[in-house]
Structure 1
Amino acid sequence: MTAPGPPVPPLPGPLSARLARYTGLAGAVLLTVAGYLGGALPDAPLGVTPASIWRTPDGPATLICWLAGTALLVGAWWSLREGAPSTRWAYVTAGLWALPLLVAPPLGSRDVYSYACQGWTYAHGVDPYAVGVAAAGCPWLDTVAPIWRDTPAPYGPVFVLLAALAATLGGGLTGTVVLLRVIAVAGLLLVAVCLPGLARAAGVPTRRAVWLLLACPLVGVHLVAGAHNDAVMLGLLLCGLLVIIRSPGRPAALLLAGALLGLAVTVKASAVVVVPFAALAAVRGRHTVRVLLRDGGWLAGGLLAALLVTSAVSGLGFGWVNGLTHSGDSEQWTSPPTAVGFVVDYAGEVVGRDPHAVPVLRAVALVLLAGVLVVLWWRAWRTLRGLNDARIEARRPRVALHGAALALVAAVVLSPVFHPWYATWPLALLALTAIRTTWFVLPVAVAAFLTLPDGTNLARFTKAPGALAMTALLLTVVLLVLRTTHRPGPTRRS
């Protein structure tokens, strides 16, 4: 029995579907060409600006191919946002778009070189949570963005072990990057396997869920070509959730699911916000405090075991928690609390003061995030508590998954830093649960234009206007939410 989901959208016509497929493929090919002309190649100059890229011999062609390719890929994805013609069609098209990007150089970021150096550091007996890759003596240091050369690794021990494996087997920088991309693609294949089961449980058309996530331009550019470890985190996360939904209340399955969620956390700690909602999905039958503690306890046991075992096997303990404090070293207006902090600092400069508001606003946002997560969990719990026995099994997966999706939205919006590929976290679960798509598809589409092929982040060069625009947008959203919340209901006649 599946949960009642959004209304099934009409199938796109054969002509529009075919046009979308080959428009997106043309976009992916143009992005690959842009990558070879001016992507994040090992010997590409660092610290460039859009203007300096334009002045290079291949600069105009690079930027034109990149912008045109991004526009074509985003447009094709957007045109079928209500669902592809079929699930198989969505898989085939997403795979077709990924083919050129599989052979492209790293695109949109230089993080894969940081991964390579962190793996090399661990493989050579140095603790990557104690020193940066510069102090460790990584031979590929020149490829790493300067801001990350002296900071400890912010990733968990599972990913450090994977990066070390890639560095050991790769034999050199190129081989290491190729293996890191293979690892990222393996994570996406796990996502692809889990999506149909989760979509059916949530009552969402599989053809829509697969299209929204796997065909997303951010997935192709940043998770495939960019080889970001978010792909591994999402694969483990969705796999753990699928095990829970298929076998609620079963101790062995919940231990396994908890271990998978724990592995996701030890890739990227942001996955932890999903765990309380996973506990709601783990309950079989009526939701009572006693049953929640029992089934949630098995889940927590598996998660804790994964954390302890991976920290012990790696020999790194929990030093990776300290590395998380450096993830916000980059200040960009794409993070709403950072943008508001910028605006407060600008206002302070006008009156001759320097408030240093960014760290304060970031701290406030993290406190607010904790409160939002509690409210979201409580609402999901109350919803499930109010369902009778006949409805609870059908509604439980959808309620829990949607709560987890909103938790990831809150984590991304209130995080001290935002990079475009972070948008894939909530997208993975919103694709499975959201009724309307435009509200989250539009920001994802905009995020696809925030980087250039060599990893240049356009937010660095639009600090003041970007901060003002983000703050204005944030205020508008807050006012609309307050207006909707306090809208008076219909009056009753006596």
Structure 2
Amino acid sequence: MLSAHHLLRLVIGLVGSLMILAGSVVGGWLAPGSGLWDVELMAVLRNSRGAVYVAAMLVVGGVLLLMFAWLSLGLSLRRRDGQAAAAGPLRRVVTAICVWTAPLLFALPLFSRDSYAYVGQGRLLASGLDPYAHVMAELPNWYETGVDYKWSTTVTPYGPVFVWLQNIVVRATDSLPLEVTLFATRLVAVGGLALLIYYAWRIARLRGYDEAAVVWAVGASPLVLMDFVVSAHNDALMIGLIVAGTYHALRGRPLLAAVLVGLAIGVKPIAVVALPVIGIIWAGRRIRSSREAGVDTAATPSAPKPFGWPRLIACWAAVSAVAVGGVVAFGVGIGSGLGWAIGLGTPLELGSFYSPSRILSLAARDLANGAGLDGALAHRVVVWAFLAAGCAIVAFLVTVKRRADPLWLLVGSFAAIALCAPLLHPWYALWVLSLLGVAGIRRVWQLRVLVYATAFFAMVGIYGEQLDMIDRIRADPGIPTLYGWVGVIGSLVLLATFELALRRARRRMPASTPPEVPMLATLPARASATGPIRPADAPVSASSTPSP
């Protein structure tokens, strides 16, 4: 039975989701050719400035309520007197995810209109055109289907697996309204989120982490619901496949792991960053089969096997052959060849105002122009320097630091790529935050990174050009400023409250509790005086070294 506090938490989050759903009706992206324009009430509301103002406040208010409910749920998982939270914490977290997600499945696209581009890319392949050689402007009535004009002359940056999936979605819903196609596209992303949550939970069990805390971190945050559900970004499927592959690698199934990561590369080529870590796990795996161990479990720990460069290079070659070779074969099979490899590139002219690369490259351009030099060249040099630095950090992690915990190698590698790129969307940040949750929140600073980054990128999502209402109220700039400030101030209040609760929780911990252990338990309740009791198939990574 749910406690009164948890029921209230569920209701608050549900109200937040319903507010976002209601706000999307007026403020969400609606294709010019959508049949919903024929509904008189819809047309009236979307052309009413007052209704647009209300929709904006509903969206920002809904995000804040979800943020409150998520933080409250996390606080409820804290350890009390050195013990785990009350019975059923995992059930509470999963219930919250399902309840908060359900209304958002039916929202019009918010925070990004990329789902319309996904449909357009599926239409290209369904029309017999190579999405890596043709653009959506070549399709009849492409603008009527809601595709952003910025995509009209851009070839597909996604992998052949995702384009093929979208081709299936388009073909299956061809005779149905566009909103049904968008709903099916959203289900693909939600399927990726479910895959992420499931395998994050499996890794938590494998390593003896607090399962509820891990699932809370990867599946319940407002940023996840905004970008993986409402916006339906295919990053959810990519990260879900990477985490699934990592789990199977940890269990001593490197070829299956390579296949899963290969599928992730087939969704977004940037997933290739995970391949070296899969090879490291294979090279340093320390399990033996149940037949060798003489037990019934699928795998049991054994002494670590030292591995040198020849073994590591051989494992890297094997996983690369399986993963990349599989994607190449798949691309050839659907007639797109190697065009998907362009997804590895980063547009140099685009950027996010908060990206370090963007900030410094624009500063270098202005300084160079002021000095009478080539500002455009200075801009490109800084951008490429950051990209090179990101690649160098990844190379350092998978070579010099290859014996560290592979989960943290994944976190570090994706963080380096994301932070060094000029373009850093909120859904890119979820690469890192999702993997951070999977790796286990063991220290207070890690928890703060998760919470503060979630709040920051959630605010980025609701303020700016991500809502289909900015152009309609641009004549009155005070309105976007108003709801933007409501979001910022509301987030700051929630974060301050969270920080106070965190400090109180740490003060209430018994003296025997290590000070670095956060309020979210990362160890199971069945711990002995010498440490947690791990299951028989516990950590099978190259190393169980905790994060720094």
- Scaled to the shorter chain, the TM-score interval is 0.7 to 0.9
- Given that 1:257 and 1:302 are in contact with CA atoms closer than 8 Å, whether structure 2 keeps it comes out as no
Aligned partners of 1:411 and 1:138: how far apart in 2?
Answer: 37
Provide the residue aligned with 1:161 in structure 2: 164
Q: 1:202 to 1:138 in 2, by over 3 A?
A: farther
Q: Which moved more, 1:76-85 or 1:265-274?
A: 76-85
Pairwise CA distance, 1:322: 2.8
Indicate whether 1:75 and 2:65 are aligned.
no
- 2:17 — aligned with what? 28
Kept in 2: contact 1:38–1:44 (CA 8 A): no
Bigger mean CA offset, 405-414 vs 283-292: 283-292
C-alpha distance 382-142 of structure 1, shift in aligned 2 (>3 A): closer
Report if the CA contact (8 A) 1:35-1:105 is conserved: yes
* 1:65 to 1:376, Cα distance in 2 relative to 1, 3 A: same
Partner of 2:513: none
Query: Is 1:414 equivalent to 2:392 in the alignment?
Result: no
What amino acid does structure 1 have at the position aligned with 2:240? G
**Does the CA-based 8 Å contact 2:269-2:340 persist in structure 1?**
no
Gaps of 5+ in 1: 1-12, 46-52, 248-252, 384-398, 463-494
Matched, 1:381 2:402: yes
Q: Give runs of aligned pairs for residues 76-95 of structure 1, distance below 5 A.
A: 76-81=69-74, 84=77, 86-95=89-98
Is the Cα contact below 8 Å between 2:357 and 2:386 reproduced in 1?
A: yes
Kindly provide the CA deviation profile for residues 356-410 of structure 1, in whole angstroms up to 9, marking residues without a partner as x.
2433222111100111112222343244xxxxxxxxxxxxxxx001111111111
Maintained 8 Å contact 1:141/1:149: no
Q: Does 1:60 align with 2:53?
A: yes
2:102 counterpart (94, 99, 102): 99
The residue that corresponds to 1:113 in the other structure is 116
Residue segments in structure 2 that go unaligned for 5+ positions in a row: 35-45, 78-84, 287-304, 481-548
- Overall identity of the aligned pairs, in %: 29
In the alignment, residue 64 of structure 1 is paired with which amino acid? M
Q: Is the contact made by 1:240 and 1:256 (CA closer than 8 Å) also made in structure 2?
A: yes
Deviates more, 1:17-26 or 1:220-229: 17-26
1:96-135 deviations in whole A, cap 9, x for unaligned? 1101101111111110010111110111011111122112
For residue 33 of structure 1, report the CA deviation from its aligned partner: 1.0
**Is the Cα–Cα contact under 8 Å of residues 118 and 128 in structure 1 kept in the other structure?**
yes
- Find the counterpart in structure 2 of residue 467 from structure 1: none
3-state SS of paired residue (1:448): helix
Deviations 1:120-157 (A, max 9, x none): 01110111111221124354555111211110000000
1:221 is aligned to: 226
1:187 and 1:234 in contact (8 A); partners too: yes
Secondary structure of the structure 2 residue equivalent to 1:380: coil
How big is the shift at 1:307? 1.6
Counterparts of 1:25 and 1:372, CA distance in 2: 41
CA distance in 1, matches of 2:51, 2:380: 40
SS in structure 1 of the partner of residue 401 of structure 2 = helix
| Residue of 181, 189, 194 corresponding to 2:194 | 189
Q: Matched residues in 2 for 1:347 and 1:141: separation? A: 43
408-417 vs 300-309, greater mean Cα deviation? 300-309
Q: Which residue of 2 aligns with 1:402?
A: 408
Equivalent positions of 1:172-187 (< 5 A) are 172-187=177-192
- The 1:151–1:188 alpha-carbon spacing in structure 2 relative to 1, beyond 3 Å, is same
Matched, 1:265 2:265: yes
Offset at 1:79?
Answer: 3.5
* Aligned-residue offset at 1:231: 1.4
Which 10-residue stretch deviates more, 29-38 or 84-93?
A: 84-93
Cα gap change, 1:203 to 1:416, in 2 (>3 Å)? farther
Distance in 2 of aligned mates of 1:137 and 1:158 = 24
- The amino acid that maps onto 2:436 is L
Aligned to 1:132: 135
Q: Pick closer, same or farther for the CA change 1:404–1:202 going to 2, 3 Å.
A: farther
| SS of equivalent to 2:25 | helix
Change beyond 3 A, Cα 1:58–1:97: same
Are positions 1:232 and 2:237 aligned together? yes
- The alpha-carbon distance between structure 1 residues 331 and 146, as it changes in their structure 2 partners (threshold 3 A), is farther
Structure whose alpha-carbon radius of gyration is higher: 2
CA distance 1:331–1:55, change in 2 (3 Å): farther
- 1:287 aligned residue: 306
Amino acid at match of 2:450: F
* 2:456 counterpart (423, 446, 456): 446
Give, in whole Å, the separation in 2 of the partners of 1:106 and 1:201: 36
Offset at 1:331? 3.0
Cα 1:44–1:350 change in 2 (3 A) is farther
Match of 1:335 among 344, 351, 355: 355
Question: Offset at 1:83?
Answer: 6.8
Q: Distance in 2 between matches of 1:27 and 1:403?
A: 35
Instruction: Quote the residue 2:383 is aligned against.
Output: 362
Structure 1: distance between partners of 2:318 and 2:371? 57
In the aligned structure 2, how far is the partner of 1:67 from the partner of 1:59?
13
Determine the C-alpha separation between the residues in 1 that align with 2:132 and 2:227: 25
1:437 counterpart SS class = helix
**8 Å contact 2:352–2:425 — kept in the other structure?**
no
CA distance in 2 between partners of 1:34 and 1:329 (Å): 32
Q: Deviations over 1:297-322 (max 9, x none)?
A: 44333213322321122111111223
Per-residue deviation, 1:279: 1.5
Question: What is the aligned residue count?
Answer: 422
The amino acid of 1:174's aligned partner reads E
* Inter-partner Cα distance in structure 1 for 2:434 and 2:52: 34
Q: What amino acid does structure 1 have at the position aligned with 2:362?
A: F
Tell me the CA shift for residue 173 of structure 1. Answer: 2.2
Question: What CA distance in whole angstroms lies between the structure 2 residues aligned with 1:297 and 1:38?
Answer: 49
CA distance in 2, matches of 1:152, 1:179: 22
CA offsets per residue over residues 179-213 of structure 1, 9 Å max, x none? 11111111122122212211233442111110011
Task: Give the structure-1-normalised TM-score.
Answer: 0.79
The residue identity in structure 1 corresponding to 2:323 is L
Contact 2:270/2:343 (8 A) holds in 1? no
Superposition deviation, residue 293 in structure 1: 3.8
- Give the whole-Å Cα distance in 2 for the aligned partners of 1:110 and 1:237: 25
SS of residue matched to 1:450: helix
Distance in 2 of aligned mates of 1:91 and 1:329: 41
Q: What is the DSSP-based 3-state SS (H/G/I as helix, E as strand, rest coil) of the residue aligned with 1:321?
A: helix
TM-align CA RMSD: 2.8
Q: What is aligned with 1:145?
A: 148
Indicate if the aligned counterparts of 1:117 and 1:141 stay in contact, CA closer than 8 A.
no
